[in-house]
Amino acid sequence: MLLLQAVPGFDPDIAREFGNGGGASDINFLGVPLFDSMSLWTLLFRFALNFLVCWIIIRFFYYRKSKRRDYYFTFMMFAVVIFLIITLMDNMKMNVAYALGLFAIFGMIRYRTETLRIREMTYLFVVMGISIINGQALTTSYTELFITNALVILAISIFEGNRLSKQMAEKVILYDKIDLVKVGKEAELKADLEDRTGIKIDKMEIGHIDYLRDVAYIKIWYKLNSGETSTIGTYTKLKEF
C-alpha cells in the first residue's frame, strides 16, 4: 500500500471502492489489517536481497581471511535485525536522522570480552549501512538498489583482494638476543630476525625491554603474499586468542 500511494494519481478512496488495492485484508484487528500481500512480498524480497548481499560480504570477504565464526554470526544477525527494524518501523516516518541515530546507539556498545579490531568494526559498519539502505530506500528503484549493493561488494572486492597494493601484516616477537637491541645495531637485528623467521621485514619497532630476563618485544611489518592472511600476529598471550 505504501508503494501504491507513492504512485502519481493514486487515490486511496478509489482503491478502497474497487478493492483493497494492495492485497490488504479487509479484516482488521485493532485498526491493523491481518494480511497485506503486497507489503509481505515487498518485505520478503528486500529481506532476501539484503541477506544475500550481507552473506556474500561476510562469507567471501571477511570470513575467508579471518575464519572467525563468532563474528560471522554477529554480523549476519546485525544485518537481519537492523533491516527488520528499519523496514517495520517505517510507519513511524523514520528519517535520516533516526537512521544515523542507530549508528550512535551501537557505537556506544562495548564488548567486554574483547576489543573489536578496526577490520571487524569496518565490516560491522558496512553490514549496518547496507541493511539501513535496503530497508529504508522504499522510493528508490530496484535498479538503483541493485547497483548500490553491487558497488559496495565491488569496493570490498578491490580493497580486500590486494589488487591495489600488497597487504601489510604485523607480528610481535619476544626476542632473546638483548645485545642486538641497541642503537646502531638495527641492520644486525633485522638480519637476525629475517634469518630466524624467514620473513622479509619492511619495518620493525622495539617495544618493552626486560633486562632482568634479557628479552624484548619487537614488532615487525611485512608484506603478505596473495591469499595469505594474518589474524593473530599481535597476540602474545593465550587468553588473547
Residue at a domain's end among 160, 179, 199: 160
> Residue 6 domain-assigned?
no
Are both 40 and 156 inside the same structural domain?
Answer: yes
Are both 156 and 205 inside the same structural domain?
Answer: no
Angle, CA of 152, 223 and 240, to the nearest 5°: 80
Residue 218 scores a pLDDT above 70: yes
The amino acid occupying position 91 is N
Average pLDDT over residues 119-144: 86
Are both 89 and 61 inside the same structural domain?
Answer: yes
Q: Which domain holds residue 42?
A: 36-160
Q: Tell me, what's the pLDDT at 122?
A: 87
More confident residue, 36 or 91: 36
Average pLDDT over residues 74-96: 77
- Count up the domains in the chain and report the number: 2
Q: Tell me, what's the pLDDT at 215?
A: 92
Q: At what angle do helices 37-57 and 69-88 cross, to 10 degrees?
A: 150
Residue at a domain's end among 127, 160, 193: 160
Residue 119 scores a pLDDT above 70: yes
| pLDDT tens digit sequence for 143-164 | 999 999 999 999 998 887 655 5
Are both 187 and 155 inside the same structural domain?
Answer: no
Residue 233 scores a pLDDT above 70: no
Are both 120 and 209 inside the same structural domain?
Answer: no
Are both 142 and 45 inside the same structural domain?
Answer: yes
More confident residue, 184 or 89: 184
Are both 81 and 196 inside the same structural domain?
Answer: no
Strands (E) in the chain, as ranges, are 28-29, 32-33, 168-175, 201-210, 215-223
Residue at a domain's end among 160, 188, 213: 160
On average, the pLDDT of the chain sits at: 77
Nearest to 84 by CA among 39, 31, 123, 131: 131
What confidence category does residue 5 fall into, taking pLDDT thresholds of 50, 70 and 90? very low
Nearest to 152 by CA among 127, 185, 172, 132: 127
Are both 104 and 176 inside the same structural domain?
Answer: no
What confidence category does residue 187 fall into, taking pLDDT thresholds of 50, 70 and 90? very high
Are both 142 and 201 inside the same structural domain?
Answer: no
Q: Are 188 and 180 a contacting pair, CB within 8 Å? A: yes
> Residue 4 domain-assigned?
no
* DSSP code string of 5-64: HTSTT--HHHHHHH--SSSB-S-EETTEES-BHHHHHHHHHHHHHHHHHHHHHIIIIIHH
Q: Cell numbers 559498519 label which residue?
A: 125
